[in-house]
Amino acid sequence: MTATARSTVRSTRWQTIGTVGLVEVPAPQAGPYDVVLDVGACGICGSDVHAFAEGAWISTGDPMGHEFSGTVGAVGSEVSAFSVGDRVAVNPMGPCGSCAQCAAGSSNLCARPVHSSFGGLGDQVLVAHAESGARLFRMPDTMSFEEGAFLEPLSVAVRAVRTVDADLAAPIVVAGLGSIGQCVVRVLRAYGAADVLGVDVSPPRLQVAAAAGIDVLDAREGGGDGVVAAVRDRWGTSDSPYQPGSGNVAAFFECSGAQAMISVATAVTRAGGVVALTGLSGSRPRVDLDTVVQKELRLRGTFAYTGDDATEAFRLLASGAVDVAPLVTHRIPLSKVDEAFAAQHATDGSVKVVVLPDRP
């Protein structure tokens, strides 16, 4: 069933480092198990910025945008759970469901993802196998398209927080307050974390994090050594073999990918604590492995999310337990998508840039 038929649509495609183009492409067609969405909002992710600015994880002509929500515009003949006109948030991950990782419950590490949905920075996007797993979530009337577009980064945060399983009464640091870090802060607060410190270099990001009810620290004040000293002053020190006077942080969520913050993380996390690496760096940062060994730190990477993580993220959104609306600092029409990338790349001036349909 189709609401409105279109022969072509606009889609943002990566061209070369620092350049994206909005091009006309054939309109997506729903197969029997698919739906086509009219995009209502699409966020620009940190990985999108790495692709834009560095050419990381992308090739010329690839479609961009994976944080999106929209209205169902067409459904396949075998789709029964969704109808034209439904407003939905999207889990773009499309695991195969049959590889060893999927069988083990780690579909975020799927060896052969086959139905992943990209192209949210466009007029329309195809969501293949829409009823398999947790792909689409029907939004309540109270949820905006902008809020629905946060399902993807919030799912990343849910996985990070649930995987680490930190002591929520103990000291916790979140470094890197882009959209992932901001979502980690909000998930921690929703789960009852009492003592969280956010670290970043961007004044607007620090301000938005502080408004969520945590203390914040500007990493530019004294550099990495200054952050280490500030964290030790705040929570005291701990001793362990060959590591006297170490920090006393129980869990450190590193969401920036910055070398300086990775070094801070191993220095201030106490023996037996966990350093969760959630941010992508686009390079190969050095890690003080002697400190990791001598303090028996758990160095834990967390990547993407499973369908269960997405389901929990949607619950937090729909219930109001997590409020993402304050994170949106820029709303830019699709016709000016190049400006949207420039704005998201300018970390001192943005938290979350959302691309919206052009208004008539």
307 within domain boundaries: no
Q: DSSP string spanning 68-104?
A: EEEEEEEE-TT--S--TT-EEEE------S-SHHHHT
Interval 124-137 mean pLDDT: 91
Note whether 231 and 103 are same-domain residues: no
CATH number, domain containing residue 210: 3.40.50.720
Would you put residue 223 in left (φ > 0), alpha (ψ -120 to 50) or beta?
left
- Measured CA to CA, the distance from residue 302 to residue 277 in angstroms comes to 6
pLDDT band at residue 254 under the 50/70/90 scheme: very high
Note whether 67 and 174 are same-domain residues: no
Note whether 120 and 184 are same-domain residues: no
Query: What's 209's DSSP letter?
Result: H
Interval 257-266 mean pLDDT: 89
Average predicted confidence (pLDDT) for the chain: 92
Note whether 160 and 144 are same-domain residues: no
Rounded to 5 degrees, φ, ψ at 284 are -120, 85
Note whether 127 and 226 are same-domain residues: no
230 within domain boundaries: yes
Note whether 202 and 235 are same-domain residues: yes
Tokens describing residue 99:
């590889």
Note whether 193 and 62 are same-domain residues: no
Interval 341-358 mean pLDDT: 91
Report strand pairing: 67-75 vs 328-333.
unpaired
- Measured CA to CA, the distance from residue 197 to residue 210 in angstroms comes to 9
Q: 21 - beta bridge partners?
A: 13
The boundaries of the domain holding residue 287 are 155-301
Sign of torsion over alpha carbons 207, 48, 181, 284: negative
Is residue 192 helix, strand or coil? Answer: coil
Buried b or exposed e, range 198-228, using 16+ CB within 10 angstroms: bbbbbeebbebbeebebebbebeeeebeebb
Note whether 57 and 178 are same-domain residues: no
Tens-digit pLDDT profile for residues 278-329:
988 767 778 888 999 999 999 999 999 999 999 999 999 999 999 999 999 9
Interval 115-120 mean pLDDT: 82
The structural domain count of the chain equals 2
* Residue type, position 93, single letter: M
Tens-digit pLDDT profile for residues 152-186:
999 999 999 999 999 999 999 999 999 999 999 99
pLDDT band at residue 222 under the 50/70/90 scheme: low
SS (H, E, C) 151-171: HHHHHHHHHHHHHHCCCCCCC
Model's pTM, two decimal places?
0.93
340 has pLDDT over 80:
yes
Note whether 106 and 230 are same-domain residues: no
Interval 58-69 mean pLDDT: 93
Tokens describing residue 114:
């086959």
Note whether 330 and 290 are same-domain residues: no
Note whether 163 and 297 are same-domain residues: yes
Residue 133: CA atoms inside 13 Å, Cβ hemisphere, count? Answer: 25
- What is the predicted pLDDT for the residue at 114? 76
Tokens describing residue 290:
């002697």
- What is the predicted pLDDT for the residue at 223? 65
Task: From 78, 234, 193, 89, select the one nearest 185 (Cα to Cα).
Answer: 193
Task: For the beta carbon of residue 301, count every other beta carbon within 10 angstroms.
Answer: 10
